[in-house]
Amino acid sequence: MIEKLESYKDRFKVLEERLSDPEVVADQKEFTKLHKEYKRITPLVKGLEKWEKLREEYHQARELLDEADEAVKAMARDEIKELQGQIDELEAELKDLLVPRDPEDASDAMVEIRAGTGGDEAAIFAGDLFKMYTSFFDQLDWKYEIINLNESAQGGYSRIVLEVKGTDVYGMLKYESGTHRVQRVPKTESQGRVHTSAATVAVLPQFEMDEIDLNKEDIRVDTFRSSGAGGQHVNKTESGVRMTHIPSGVSVVSTDSRSQLKNREFALQRLYQKILESQREKEASSRAEQRKSLVGTGDRSGKIRTYNFPQNRVTDHRINLTLYNLDQVMGGKLQEIIQALKVADNASKQEAS
């Protein structure tokens, strides 16, 4: 483990030099890419430095055991015990950090929140999830843009699509894909009865265009007029885009934006993702199946979390985690839940490796 950490230390120095290079600073795309890598390996390098310092203090304390003074020896034994505990804890943290990451984890993400079963209350809950996530984004200083928004007559949204940019966005949000269930008394309920409704969340990684290795000659692009809300613009402008990968037959449609250029970009992202998922299914292993069952796939039939308002309780069913701070969670305090899912995911990877 230490040898691997040493290699990150060397890479860290290279990145520091590159990020101070005027040519790199002038190239925003290259700078952003290197800065993301720099932020990702910083905890590993700082952890190694802390480990080295603790080990040095540990050996110094061991040397004190050769002292004749019993009081000094007693102090040394106490210090050795405390330092060993800190070293063990730090090594466990570093081991988790060294678990191979999914290549997409550092990517930005497209997030779709859609009202599910439950009528107006489901749309209101979808709006509550939107507020919860955007508060979470603000806490992490992530940037987001609303790409598509369909409001509900009674409040909330029937569907909302966001583009989210920041550090390790997909790596954190991927655990949110799936069905979110709410139990509470709806505003429209006159008898005070608790109802159960649901909303779905789908999270897709956003890839840089130069990362997508598809032969343009193999892709057929069709444009069409979008239907639905949007007035004359939608009816008269061919902003909708359909892309078909001819060799595989995979096809995707994007009508999220009024801009055909944006829809082309989103369609290419989704096409790449669908082809990638198709390839991964063919190469599925037991490890992939374990992870799939843990983090969910965005399947709308798979309930991943329940939000119970009367009991101020939130339960993540994948890891049997129950917390009684729903008010804080709805305010964007998602770190504890996501961290628990990441720990469980890493444990699953370690067992499968």
CB burial of 313-344 (b: ≥16 within 10 Å; e: otherwise) equals bbbbbbbeeebeebeebbebbbeebbebbbeb
Q: What is the pLDDT of residue 227?
A: 60
Q: What is the mean pLDDT of the chain?
A: 83
Q: Where residue 273 sits, what CATH number does that domain have?
A: 3.30.160.20
Q: What is the pLDDT of residue 69?
A: 84
Report residue 209's pLDDT band, with 50, 70 and 90 as the boundaries: low
Q: What is the pLDDT of residue 199?
A: 93
Say yes or no: 315 and 178 in one domain.
yes
Say yes or no: 147 and 251 in one domain.
no
Say yes or no: 237 and 201 in one domain.
no
Report residue 213's pLDDT band, with 50, 70 and 90 as the boundaries: low
Report residue 352's pLDDT band, with 50, 70 and 90 as the boundaries: low
Query: How many angstroms separate the CA atoms of 238 and 102, rounded?
Result: 36
Say yes or no: 155 and 166 in one domain.
yes
- How large is the average pLDDT for residues 225-236? 52
Say yes or no: 163 and 119 in one domain.
yes
User: What single-letter amino acid sits at 323?
Assistant: L
- How large is the average pLDDT for residues 61-84? 89
**Which range is most confident: 63-67, 142-146, 192-196?**
142-146
Say yes or no: 53 and 197 in one domain.
no
**Which range is most confident: 59-73, 183-197, 208-222?**
59-73
| CA-closest candidate to residue 348, choices 295, 296, 290 | 290
Tell me: pLDDT of 326 over 90: yes
Report residue 276's pLDDT band, with 50, 70 and 90 as the boundaries: confident
Say yes or no: 226 and 267 in one domain.
yes
| Residue-number span of the structural domain to which 183 is assigned | 105-207+292-352
- How large is the average pLDDT for residues 3-10? 81
CB burial of 75-84 (b: ≥16 within 10 Å; e: otherwise) equals ebeebbeebe
Tell me: pLDDT of 288 over 70: no
User: Residues with Cβ < 8 Å from 230, sequence gap 6 or more?
Assistant: 258
DSSP string, 114-157: EE-SSHHHHHHHHHHHHHHHHHHHHHTT-EEEEEEEEE-TTSSE
Residue 287 counted as domain residue: no
Q: What is the pLDDT of residue 297?
A: 40
Q: What is the pLDDT of residue 255?
A: 84
- How large is the average pLDDT for residues 161-183? 92
Report residue 257's pLDDT band, with 50, 70 and 90 as the boundaries: confident
Say yes or no: 77 and 194 in one domain.
no
Residue 193 counted as domain residue: yes
Say if residues 331 and 129 touch (Cβ distance below 8 Å): no
Tell me: pLDDT of 287 over 50: no
User: Residues with Cβ < 8 Å from 68, sequence gap 6 or more?
Assistant: none
The domain boundary residue, chosen from 248, 282, 316: 282
Tell me: pLDDT of 347 over 70: yes
Say yes or no: 253 and 311 in one domain.
no
Residue 156 counted as domain residue: yes
Q: What is the pLDDT of residue 182?
A: 93
| CA-closest candidate to residue 99, choices 38, 171, 170, 175 | 171
User: Residues with Cβ < 8 Å from 186, sequence gap 6 or more?
Assistant: 120, 121, 124, 195, 197
- How large is the average pLDDT for residues 321-345? 94
Residue 177 counted as domain residue: yes
Q: What is the pLDDT of residue 36?
A: 80
Q: State pLDDT tens for residues 31-49.
A: 888 888 888 889 889 998 9
Residue 221 counted as domain residue: yes
Say if residues 34 and 12 touch (Cβ distance below 8 Å): no
- How large is the average pLDDT for residues 179-189? 86
The 3-state DSSP class for residue 338 equals: helix
pTM as predicted: 0.63
- How large is the average pLDDT for residues 171-199? 88
Q: What is the pLDDT of residue 142?
A: 96
Q: Sheet of 219-224: strands edge to edge?
A: 219-224, 240-245, 250-254
Say yes or no: 256 and 310 in one domain.
no
Q: What backbone torsions phi and psi does residue 140 show, to the nearest 5 degrees? A: -95, 0
Residue 203 counted as domain residue: yes
Query: How many angstroms separate the CA atoms of 271 and 265, rounded?
Result: 10
Residue 182 counted as domain residue: yes
Q: Point out the least confidently predicted range of 39-53, 318-332, 337-351.
A: 337-351
Percent of residues, the chain, with pLDDT higher than 90: 37
The domain boundary residue, chosen from 245, 260, 282: 282
Q: What is the pLDDT of residue 210?
A: 54
Residue 138 counted as domain residue: yes
Tell me: pLDDT of 292 over 50: no
Q: Where residue 39 sits, what CATH number does that domain have?
A: 1.20.58
Counted domains in the chain? 3
Q: What is the pLDDT of residue 290?
A: 39
The domain boundary residue, chosen from 43, 64, 97: 97
Say yes or no: 229 and 138 in one domain.
no
Say yes or no: 319 and 176 in one domain.
yes
Tell me: pLDDT of 84 over 80: yes
